[in-house]
Structure 1
Amino acid sequence: MLSGQMPILILKEGTQREQGKSAQKANIEAAKAIADAVRTTLGPKGMDKMLVDSIGDIIISNDGATILKEMDVEHPTAKMIVEVAKSQDTAVGDGTTTAVILSGELLKQAEELLDQGVHPTVITNGFRIAVNEAKKLLESIAMDAKDDATLKRIAMTALSGKNTGLSKEFLADLVVKAVNAVAEERNGRIVVDPANIKVDKKAGGSITDTQYINGIVIDKEKVHAKMPSVVKDARIALIDSALEIKKTEIEAKVQITDPSKIQDFLAQESDTFKQMVEKIKKSGANVVFCQKGIDDIAQHYLAKEGIYAVRRVKKSDMEKLAKATGGRIVTNLDDLTPDVLGKAEKVEEQKISDDRMTFVTGCANPKAVSILIRGGTEHVVAEIERALNDAIRVVSITKEDGRFVPGGGAVEAEISTKLRHFATSVGGREQLAVEAFARAMEVIPRTLAENAGLDPINTLIQLRAEHEKGHTTYGIDFTQNKVGDMTKVGVFDPLRVKKHALESAVEVATMILRIDDVIASKKTSSSESPKSENNPSGMGSGAPSF
């Protein structure tokens, strides 16, 4: 461009553009700020966050994914970090905070290398070499989960730090029982679908009133007061059609000229419902779960026959009922035969808090079960539900894989120690990135120590010393607030959770590092000119905004 000429604008006026080092710095700052937002929630001694939305609803949680989902994040790079938490939550259900903190720390270590003039591509290559080596190390550290006691310890590790208080062991027992009930063997492999564990919640009572139900709880009451409240030796019909008279597709009008015919017309309608109920009775069913509506007259006849009926049951609940009772869902009453009915020892209506719920219990070999959570307030119950869902997911994963690793920062400390030795064999500039990765891994034990009120530097020095001696399973023992053997205190994490957290953190860190130009087409308000004397480019300051 010749001097004195006007600059050529190829982007729309008001477009913000940030290039090179300043773009990378702004992105890294945003990632670090997001990691700092959830950092204090990590570990059993982590603190909670209170999130208040625009209409004043409150969520109190220390679950990384929940916090980041509820935070109204504005910065595009910060949104990418939030995606890490979401993907970790979707894939393995736990380790969301770990994945986010690792992403932030990897970028922080990378920033120092960028300042030294190391190219982003070299750093990303080094990170990939390091994560592949770290995954091999995880495999070598992993132990086999052989019994329910191990699964219980894994559930308790997932529940620690959540608002489960003194009931951690009690809830862990329920989780293991539920996962064992729904585990199935397919092609020689154990498969657990956490969706088959129905978690219901009702405020009122204490956490210890939470119960495991060998069957399904439906948040519905019987449709008619005259129906029995308890049905023993239940034979259950699952119907996916309305027990109502269908309205005609085309517009039709019924005209009655003779008043005496009105009674005949009503009687005919009543007979139709009578026939429907006859078909149900003939099949031998004494309990009906209907996915759609049940007409008032049909309710009357069902009550007369002593049949317990529930209407408008959710499709997902119908499927769980089929799995729990061994019944099949029918769409036509003519298909209702004794062999399609589900079986349970008891179906009863119970009053829980102010609501009435239907309990289907005593199923012979249920492949779907329920846990009904109780707690003092709505917020307590909601946080326990989040904690239980995490625990169910991690126990399911361990049941499937049969592999777990020591927790309490032990694996991260071991990876850090081994990668420092490994880095020398890499050579070249990638060695610097592998060393940076090793330093970044220490953020987990350091944060755990900080959150527990321990001295992070002394704790890290002790941990390093133990791992240099070959004590692979040494981490931070929170029962005695010192470095100890995690296998003795029973702090375990599933192998898959740790692997996924590492992969997610490296993927997002490498993606962010490779960005050297941010072009944001934002409309500027009329009062604010895109260019000003102090900021001729019209760019923002580069500080991350949430």
Structure 2
Amino acid sequence: MAGQMSGQPIFILREGNQRTRGRDAQSNNIMAAKAVAEAVRTTLGPKGMDKMLVDSLGDVVITNDGATILKEMDIEHPAAKMIVEVAKTQDDEVGDGTTTAAVITGELLKKAEEMIEQDIHPTIIAAGYRMASVKAGEILKSLAKKVTIDNKDMLISISDTAMTGKGAEATKDILSKIAVDAIISIVDRDNGNTVDIENVKVEKKVGGRIDDSELIEGMILDKERVHTNMPKKVEGARIALLNSAIELKETEVDAEISITSPEQLQSFLDQEESMLKSLVTSITKTGANVVFCQKGIDDMAQHYLAKEGIFAVRRVKKSDMEKLVRSTSAKLITNIEEMTAEDLGAAELVEEKKIGGDSMTFITGCVNPKSVSILLRGGTEHVIDNIERALNDALRVVAVAIEDEELVAGGGAPEVEVALRLNEYASTLSGREQLAVKAFAEALEVVPRTLAENAGLDPIDMLVELRAHHEKGIKTAGLNVYTGTVIDMWEAGVVEPLRVKTQAINSGTEAAVMILRIDDIIASSRAPPMPDGGMGGMPPMM
């Protein structure tokens, strides 16, 4: 009896659950992560290609931005999702280098797989990778050069590098200048040069050429004045910001008013009218000539405001109201009846202009232009969206450069240098970690190798030449993908903030180590087992 018992399988998981263990689990995870890294790999560098992503509703996104691609791809596999997280972290932290981070993670896992096949334990690989990552951070730090907010040419180079290969090449000179000017004007110099990127508002309008994009020292609202009799242009604007509606309040209690005669109705309407009139009088009494209202403005109130020659806009977004508070120094008013002249903000000019067929309101010459707006123009929706993503990367990267004040060269130069130094470091280690550090060094070379491949150059020839330059001590030698030669990236103005590189290597290492340490995957089925004993709805692994 006992003998028979021992032969019986014991189920501890519900039917329909799947469990993968050991080598299978590792190779399954590594394969999925590599597949995701491979998907974005072709977008790396100036000669990288774009991806077209179509979602379930048929909306199209055309982009070269690693984080956007991975966010839009509907990824199911749990290990593959970790690569998406790496790109997201990179995007949140520095705004650029998302593809690099994903590609490095994929390559580290590929190298790890080769080591696992040689029976090197994943824990040892993980330890070696961590050591290498710390060392790589130190090496990068030693390569960094200083930049300050006053070195505008260098900041423009940083912006150019961030935009290259993102569909904004032809106009990157204009856009880079806009990006740098925008960031410089919002730097908080009192707090040690910090930058709040929220203070830059990007407003997109289809129509015109990309060259028509401009930086507005002030605010743009995608709104028009509420009444045609209002002035189109107000100079010396005194601005009231209201977050309550200029309408009659509904009674809180359900009340019925019975009206029995026309006179009663008339007096009721007159009373409503005079209440609205007194609200408008409260506003005009303060000397306001521009009103931005977060909620609605009643038709009758619009008429009175227009009669007083006040420029009014309604239903302004909350985030825009907050920016207006900052830039005009006005106070947000909830109770209109109690407002005073002290609550008003100021701007030199508020005017409505037609841009691309739509009316927009421009507020310029603010007392405290700590928020600026960028008006982006472009031929089609997709062009503008793509340009906006490139511009956002540029803005974030310039902000990081101003905050950290440290730069490294681009074009694969830091990766080759770090790989070289890591190989020297590996030879000082005893134990199997040495192999992991060597593998880490090789993995970093995936960046220059991919740059070469995407430009149609021979990756092996290019790598050999890059290494030769670095061994001679030219630390900033990188790959010029346009000519297929190795040049000094620093002189060519291809530079990136140090944080872009360190963050990519750190988050890539962490994700790779995390995936490596998993040796058991227990996946619950999505649906309960079918009544006829069929399998539950487990999605197929990639």
Q: Is the 8 A contact 2:53 2:61 kept in 1?
A: yes
TM-score by length of 1: 0.95
CA distance in 2, matches of 1:470, 1:338: 67
> 1:100-145: per-residue Cα shift (whole Å, max 9, x none)?
0010000000111101111111111101100101111111111111
User: Cα–Cα, structure 1 residues 525 and 174, in superposed 2: closer, same or farther, change >3 Å?
Assistant: farther
CA distance in 2, matches of 1:459, 1:528: 58
CA distance in 2, matches of 1:304, 1:102: 64
Map of 2:78 onto structure 1: 76
Map of 1:129 onto structure 2: 131
> 1:488-526: per-residue Cα shift (whole Å, max 9, x none)?
110111111111111110111000000000111124668
CA distance in 1, matches of 2:441, 2:8: 50
Q: Is the 8 A contact 1:237 1:336 kept in 2?
A: no
CA distance in 2, matches of 1:424, 1:16: 43
User: Cα–Cα, structure 1 residues 483 and 164, in superposed 2: closer, same or farther, change >3 Å?
Assistant: same
Work out which of the residue numbers 348, 361, 364 in structure 1 matches 2:364.
361
User: Cα–Cα, structure 1 residues 453 and 335, in superposed 2: closer, same or farther, change >3 Å?
Assistant: farther
Question: Given the alignment of the two structures, is residue 150 of structure 1 paired with residue 154 of structure 2, yes or no?
Answer: yes
Q: Which amino acid aligns with 1:163?
A: G
Work out which of the residue numbers 364, 374, 394 in structure 1 matches 2:397.
394
CA distance in 1, matches of 2:538, 2:113: 21
Map of 1:58 onto structure 2: 60
Q: Is the 8 A contact 2:239 2:292 kept in 1?
A: yes
Work out which of the residue numbers 331, 351, 373 in structure 1 matches 2:376.
373
TM-score by length of 2: 0.96
User: Cα–Cα, structure 1 residues 525 and 134, in superposed 2: closer, same or farther, change >3 Å?
Assistant: farther
Structure 1 segments, 4+ long, off by >6 Å, are 524-528
Q: Which amino acid aligns with 2:468?
A: A
* Root-mean-square deviation (Å): 1.8
Map of 2:407 onto structure 1: 404
Map of 1:474 onto structure 2: 477
Question: Given the alignment of the two structures, is residue 119 of structure 1 paired with residue 152 of structure 2, yes or no?
Answer: no
Q: Is the 8 A contact 2:416 2:445 kept in 1?
A: yes
Q: Shift of residue 340 of structure 1? A: 2.4
Map of 2:14 onto structure 1: 12
Q: Shift of residue 257 of structure 1? A: 2.6
Secondary structure at the residue paired with 2:189?
Answer: strand
Map of 1:301 onto structure 2: 304
Q: Which amino acid aligns with 2:374?
A: I
CA distance in 2, matches of 1:59, 1:234: 40
Secondary structure at the residue paired with 2:369?
Answer: coil
CA distance in 1, matches of 2:531, 2:492: 63
CA distance in 2, matches of 1:459, 1:544: 37
CA distance in 2, matches of 1:502, 1:544: 28
Map of 1:182 onto structure 2: 186
Map of 1:44 onto structure 2: 46
Secondary structure at the residue paired with 2:32?
Answer: helix
Map of 1:258 onto structure 2: 261
CA distance in 2, matches of 1:219, 1:525: 54
User: Cα–Cα, structure 1 residues 209 and 23, in superposed 2: closer, same or farther, change >3 Å?
Assistant: same
Map of 1:242 onto structure 2: 245
CA distance in 1, matches of 2:90, 2:532: 42
Q: Which amino acid aligns with 1:122?
A: I
Q: Shift of residue 186 of structure 1? A: 3.7
Q: Which moved more, 1:212-221 or 1:476-485?
A: 476-485
Once the two structures are aligned, what percentage of the paired residues are identical? 56
> 1:12-64: per-residue Cα shift (whole Å, max 9, x none)?
11111110001100110001100000000001110000111112111110101
Q: Is the 8 A contact 1:29 1:544 kept in 2?
A: no
Q: Is the 8 A contact 1:290 1:311 kept in 2?
A: yes
Q: Which amino acid aligns with 1:145?
A: V
Q: Is the 8 A contact 1:33 1:544 kept in 2?
A: no
Q: Shift of residue 256 of structure 1? A: 2.1
Q: Which runs of 5+ in 1 are unaligned?
A: 532-537
Q: Is the 8 A contact 1:234 1:343 kept in 2?
A: yes
Work out which of the residue numbers 293, 303, 308 in structure 2 matches 1:290.
293
Q: Which amino acid aligns with 1:252?
A: A
Map of 1:534 onto structure 2: none
CA distance in 2, matches of 1:526, 1:157: 59
CA distance in 1, matches of 2:44, 2:393: 14
Q: How does 1:524-543 map to 2 (within 5 A)?
A: 529-530=534-535
User: Cα–Cα, structure 1 residues 259 and 529, in superposed 2: closer, same or farther, change >3 Å?
Assistant: closer
The alignment covers a number of residue pairs equal to: 536
Q: Which amino acid aligns with 1:383?
A: N
Map of 1:324 onto structure 2: 327
User: Cα–Cα, structure 1 residues 118 and 370, in superposed 2: closer, same or farther, change >3 Å?
Assistant: same
Q: Shift of residue 185 of structure 1? A: 2.4
Q: Which amino acid aligns with 1:354?
A: G
User: Cα–Cα, structure 1 residues 375 and 2, in superposed 2: closer, same or farther, change >3 Å?
Assistant: farther
Q: Shift of residue 544 of structure 1? A: 5.2
Q: Which amino acid aligns with 2:301?
A: A
Q: Which amino acid aligns with 2:322?
A: E
Q: Shift of residue 267 of structure 1? A: 1.3
Q: Shift of residue 338 of structure 1? A: 2.5
Q: Shift of residue 165 of structure 1? A: 2.8
Q: Which amino acid aligns with 2:87?
A: A
